[in-house]
Structures are given as C-alpha cells and as structure tokens.
Structure 1
Amino acid sequence: MPVTVNLDAVLDPDFQNSPITDLVNAPTSALSGIDEAQAEGLRLAFGIETIGDLADNTFVRAAVAIRALADVAQ
C-alpha cells in the first residue's frame, strides 16, 4: 500500500512537487521559512547544505531526542 503525505506547508513552492527521494538532496532553502541567507548560515556554521544534512546533523538529532524525552517526562 503506497503512503502519501502532503508536505506543501513545509516546502518552498518550487519543491512542492518533488519526489521525497529527491528532497533529501534538496538545499535547505527548499524548506519553507529558510531563505538563502539562512541556508548559507547553516552551511557556514554546521556544514549543512541539504535537507538530508540537516536531518543527519548531530545537534539537530540531539535536540529532537531531548524534546521527545522531555515530552515523555511531563
């Protein structure tokens, strides 16, 4: 059974019709709310160039884990 998800709310309009397998390699500016200057900041500060890089970043992963554990602790 195929699974579908609408990511339009979190993607820049230019990327809304992209296959999810392509989005992993899309620039972080493909995410709605991240402009080119912010994307450059992510690149300079953390070496993050793609959505996949962002998802794999140690600090991002740690922050997500901390949030999830805090939610469970409440």
Structure 2
Amino acid sequence: MASIDLDEVLDKAWTDKSLPEILAAPVGALKGVSDRDGELLQEAFGVKSIADLAELKYVRWAQALAALDTAR
C-alpha cells in the first residue's frame, strides 16, 4: 500500500484531519490549488471535493496514460 505525506499534499489546516474529512474537503485543501481553481473545476466538471476530483474520469484517463508511459 502506498503512503503519502499529508504535509506535502495538503494545506496546513487539513493535515490533522481524518481521511473522510479530507476526501470531503474542497479541492482548495490541496496544496497549490486555489479557491478559484476549485470554483473553475466545479463549473467545468462538477467537482466539489477531493473525492470528486479523484473520481473524475479525465483524471483516471490521464493516470492510466501516465502508467503506460512508465511501463516502458
């Protein structure tokens, strides 16, 4: 199972939250994603939370393509 350093991927206010809280958090809780970015993701794709972003088919497609590239 992969591990992740929450300090590296989340804004400071979210690093001590539970996983369910993090997944329900707005995408702006991710380090480097602004509130405006979150608004644009919601307008374009209906993404309201980190879980929504993770389930977005375009994200999954991009991950699959990147995995193919690393399989070379």
Write the distance in 1 (CA, Å) between the matches of 2:38 and 2:21.
18
Could you say what secondary structure the match of 1:24 adopts?
helix
Pairing of 1:35-74 with structure 2 (within 5 A): 35-72=34-71, 74=72
1:19 equivalenced with 2:14 (yes/no): no
* Structure 1 unmatched ranges of 5 or more: none
State, as a whole percentage, how many aligned pairs show the same letter: 36
TM-score (normalised: structure 1): 0.88
Number of residues of Structure 1 aligned to a counterpart in Structure 2: 70
Residue 6 of structure 1 aligns with an amino acid whose one-letter code is D
The root-mean-square deviation of aligned C-alpha atoms, in Å, is 1.3
User: 1:58: Cα distance to partner?
Assistant: 0.3
Structure 1 ranges of 4+ moved more than 4 A: none
* Structure 2 unmatched ranges of 5 or more: none
Residue 17 of structure 2 aligns with an amino acid whose one-letter code is S
Bigger radius of gyration among the two: 1
TM-score (normalised: structure 2): 0.90
